[in-house]
C-alpha cells in the first residue's frame, strides 16, 4: 500500500523558514518523480514543485521560485521542501504526491501538513 | 503557459449523469495528458481519471474521461450519480516546461 506522510508544518512569522518532509513507503521511491502541491484555505489546488527520480530535473512554480527548494533522499525514501522568506500567501495545506509516470500527474497523495504564515 | 478553466459548480440529481468540463486556454488539449481528482471535504485528493481517459482499478466505471480537440477541452462524466460523489473535482495537466497546471475546481452537488 502506497503511503505518504508529511510533517514539518506549523506556525511561522513572515520572512521565516520551514522544512517540510514526506516519508514514503509501499513503492520503489527512487523510481518515481515526486511533487509538492498546496491548497490555501478554502481555495483550489496549486502545483508547487517537481523533482525527478535522481534529482536531475527540478521545477518550481513562479510563485515560489527562488524561495523554496525541493530535494529528495532516495536512501531514506524521503522528499523535502525547504521554504524560506515565507509570506502570508504561502499559508496552505502542503501535500506530497507521487507521480504516476512520464507526463502523467500525481496518483497518490499524502494527508498534508498545514503551514500558517502569520505574525 | 496555459490555464485550465472549469465551471465553478454543477448540480444534478441522484441517478442522473453530469459532465464537468476543463478548457485549455492555449495549446492543444491533446499535447499533455489530463488527470482528474476528487476531493471530499477535509480529505486529500484522489485520482478518478488519469492520462485523459484511464480509470484506476478502485474507481467505479461510472466515472469516465475524454478530450475533445474541437473545443480544446477535457471532460469528466459521472453517470448514475450517488450522494457520495458530492465533492470538488479538479483537472490537471503539465505545460511544455513541465510545470503542473490545475483547473480552479468544480463543486459537484448531488441533490
**pLDDT tens digits for A89-111?**
999 999 999 999 877 899 999 99
pLDDT of residue A101: 83
User: What is the tens place of the pLDDT at every residue in A44-84?
Assistant: 999 999 999 999 999 999 999 999 999 999 999 999 999 99
Report the DSSP beta bridge partners of residue A60: A49
Q: Which of A38, A45, A62 to mutate to test the interface with B (most CBs of B within 10 A)?
A: A45
User: What contacts A73, CB < 8 A, 6 or more positions away?
Assistant: A80
Q: Above pLDDT 70, what percent of chain B? A: 100
Mean pLDDT of B28-52: 96
Cα–Cα distance measured from residue B53 to residue B1, given in angstroms and rounded to the nearest whole number: 23
Out of B33, B50, B105, closest to residue A44 by CB: B105
Mean pLDDT of B72-87: 98
Q: Which residue of chain B has the CA closest to A4?
A: B44
Minimum distance, in Å, between the CA of residue B102 and any CA atom of chain A: 6
Mean pLDDT of A5-24: 98
CB contact under 8 A, B98 and A57: yes
pLDDT of residue A87: 98
pLDDT of residue A102: 74
Q: Above pLDDT 90, what percent of chain B? A: 95
Mean pLDDT of B69-90: 97
CB contact under 8 A, A109 and B45: yes
**Is the minimum CB–CB distance between A59 and chain B shorter than 8 Å?**
yes
Minimum distance, in Å, between the CA of residue A59 and any CA atom of chain B: 7
CB contact under 8 A, A45 and B90: yes
pLDDT of residue B1: 85
Residues of A whose CB is below 8 A from B105? 44-45
pLDDT of residue B74: 98
Q: What is the largest CA-CA distance in chain B?
A: 41
- If one counts every other C-beta atom within 10 angstroms of the C-beta of residue B5, the result is 14
- If one counts every other C-beta atom within 10 angstroms of the C-beta of residue A119, the result is 8
DSSP-derived 3-state class of residue B42: coil
Question: At B96, is the pLDDT very low, low, confident or very high (cuts 50, 70, 90)?
Answer: confident
Between the CA atoms of B111, B17, A45 and A115, what dihedral angle is there, to the nearest 10 degrees? 40
Minimum distance, in Å, between the CA of residue A17 and any CA atom of chain B: 24
CB contact under 8 A, B32 and A103: yes
Amino acid at each position: 500500500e502506497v503511503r505518504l506522510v508529511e510533517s514539518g508544518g506549523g506556525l511561522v512569522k513572515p520572512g521565516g523558514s520551514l522544512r517540510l518532509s514526506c516519508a514514503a513507503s509501499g513503492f520503489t521511491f527512487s523510481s518515481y518523480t515526486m511533487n509538492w502541491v498546496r491548497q490555501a484555505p478554502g481555495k483550489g489546488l496549486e502545483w508547487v514543485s517537481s523533482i525527478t527520480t535522481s534529482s536531475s530535473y527540478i521545477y518550481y512554480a513562479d510563485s515560489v521560485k527562488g524561495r523554496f527548494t525541493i530535494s529528495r533522499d532516495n536512501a531514506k525514501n524521503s522528499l523535502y521542501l525547504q521554504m524560506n522568506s515565507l509570506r502570508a500567501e504561502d499559508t496552505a495545506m502542503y501535500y506530497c504526491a507521487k507521480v504516476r509516470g512520464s507526463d502523467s500527474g500525481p496518483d497518490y497523495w499524502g494527508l498534508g501538513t498545514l503551514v500558517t504564515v502569520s505574525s | 503557459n496555459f490555464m485550465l478553466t472549469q465551471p465553478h459548480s454543477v448540480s444534478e440529481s441522484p441517478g442522473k449523469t453530469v459532465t464537468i468540463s476543463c478548457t485549455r486556454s492555449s495549446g492543444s488539449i491533446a499535447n499533455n495528458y489530463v488527470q482528474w481528482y476528487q476531493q471530499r471535504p477535509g480529505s486529500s485528493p484522489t485520482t478518478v481519471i488519469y492520462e485523459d481517459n484511464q480509470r484506476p482499478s478502485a474507481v467505479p466505471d461510472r466515472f469516465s474521461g475524454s478530450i475533445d480537440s474541437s473545443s480544446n477541452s477535457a471532460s469528466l462524466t459521472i453517470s448514475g450519480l450517488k450522494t457520495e460523489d458530492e465533492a470538488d473535482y479538479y483537472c490537471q495537466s503539465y505545460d511544455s516546461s513541465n510545470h503542473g497546471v490545475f483547473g480552479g475546481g468544480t463543486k459537484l452537488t448531488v441533490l
